[in-house]
Chain A
Amino acid sequence: MRETKYWTWHMAAGVMILFLLGLHMLIMHLGGITHLFASHGGEAISKENSLWRDSTLFFTVTYVLLLGVALYHGLYGLRTIVFELTLKPAAEKAVSLGLLILGLGMFGLGAWAAIAAHAIARAGARG
């Protein structure tokens, strides 16, 4: 049932990506219409608005969540493609382990960047 677990989470991650990327589209690409989360007005990608979003816990959590689900969804998909090359069971285990290490490493790096940006933005907001 291990593969069932992986696949179920893959599907759940897909739904999460749909929601989180929808949010990203609304804020960043449809900002001119929606004016969502642009507390300083103007462009969504302006430095003030970016710093404001970075200082908000909601956005930091959202960034980390999006990073996690996108990495999981993408790397599981990559694993599926690699598995279709009719590998030996030992090679499949090695691929799974390699992708797990790669995913955890990239998640750690990305999460650290999001949290660091949050801390810098908070410090900047306090002056």
Chain B
Amino acid sequence: MRESGKTRQINFHVTRYNPESDGAPYVKTYPVSVCEGMTVLDGLHHIKENLDPSLVWRYSCRMGVCGSCGMLLNGRPALACNTQILHIADADLTVAPLPNFEIIRDLVPDLFSMFEKHRAIEPYIARADQTEIEDPQGEFYQSPEQLEAYLQFTYCIKCGCCMAACPTLATDARYLGPMPLAAAQRYNADTRDDGRPGRNRLTGSSHGAFRCHYAGECSRVCPKGVDPAKAIQYLKRQLVLDYLHLARRKQPCKKMSGPGRGEPLPNIVPAPPKMV
């Protein structure tokens, strides 16, 4: 934590809950001296080191990459490491665990249900040709346009903020939710993938893509700028086109036999001779 610069006292209203000893979650307030640039994660560290060592939360990378520190900050799901306190609070800051999940303890949500749904949609490139899976014979060619079709959905860090913001998931625990559905679209849109028919069974189920009300909250809160709401609309369109047999036949992805299709690309300086 930086000590220089002007400081302001912010009251952290933190939701505390220990299922082993508490009947229900309750809020405890901690005054924290905050200076410019301090993140909510810094504030929580300050509380743990100076005010209450029993406070529990989950974090890892501290740079908005791992997606561990998703929590509800002033009523909005966000990453604690990615949110500066003075950007969202003047005097009070409420910190609560992500809603739509069970609480393990204090600010730690149980993300198991999300990862279970994520696993169910087969979030990997599935090939129809089993021999290629077992014995890959070369690289697949993908144009920049084909990459663009799914690129933004690969930026998802599985922090659960979109799931916490989803109003459908708040009432329907069996709804797949924005993260798994966006992951399904990420692989469906990949030209190397043949797994769409399998995923359609789940994404087109009674708790799949059609339950999305298009509130758009998932896209609004995503700390990585992913647009899961858009992915779900793409999924709906593809499901309907598949049902009506109007979907454009997917062209099999071209394969390159080795770098440069076996031919050295022009204007490449030859590698220096081996020294060892």
Contacts and interface: CB of A to CB of B under 8 A. Distances in A.
B118 to A, nearest CB: 19
Given A1-B200, A3-B205, A4-B210, A84 B168 contact: yes
B216 interface: no
Given A4-B242, A7-B210, A86 B200 contact: no
B208 A86 contact: no
Interface residues of A, number: 14
A5 interface: yes
B201 A3 contact: no
Interface of B: 168, 171-175, 200-201, 204-208, 210-211, 236, 239-240, 242-244
B243 A1 contact: yes
A1 B238 CA distance: 12
A2 B243 CA distance: 9
A84 B206 CA distance: 10
B204 A83 contact: no
Contacts of B205: 3
A85 interface: yes
Would you call the interface of chain A mostly helix, strand, loop, or mixed? helix
Nearest to B197: A1
Contacts of B168: 84
A5 B208 CA distance: 13
A50 B207 CA distance: 45
A80 interface: yes
Interface string A73-88: 0000000100111100
Given A1-B204, A4-B240, A4-B242, 4 more contacts: A4-B210, A7-B240, A8-B243, A86-B173
8 contacts: A1-B204, A1-B239, A4-B204, A4-B243, A7-B236, A7-B239, A11-B240, A80-B210
Contacts of A86: 171-174
Interface string A42-85: 00000000000000000000000000000000000000100111
Given A8-B243, A8-B244, A3 B171 contact: no
Contact of B172 (A2, A3, A84): A84
A92 B206 CA distance: 9
B173 to A, nearest CB: 5
A3 to B, nearest CB: 5
B269 to A, nearest CB: 54
Nearest to B238: A4
Contacts of B206: 2-3, 83, 92
B239 A4 contact: yes
**Which 6 pairs across A and B sit closest by C-beta, in order of nearness?**
A4-B204, A84-B172, A7-B210, A4-B243, A4-B239, A86-B173
Given A7-B210, A8-B244, A83-B207, A1 B172 contact: no
Nearest to B244: A8
B185 to A, nearest CB: 15
A83 B172 contact: yes
B208 A3 contact: yes
Contacts of B240: 4, 7-8, 11
A85 B171 contact: yes
Nearest to B171: A84
Contacts of A92: 206
A4 B206 CA distance: 9
A7 B175 CA distance: 16
Interface string A1-45: 111110110010000000000000000000000000000000000
B20 to A, nearest CB: 26
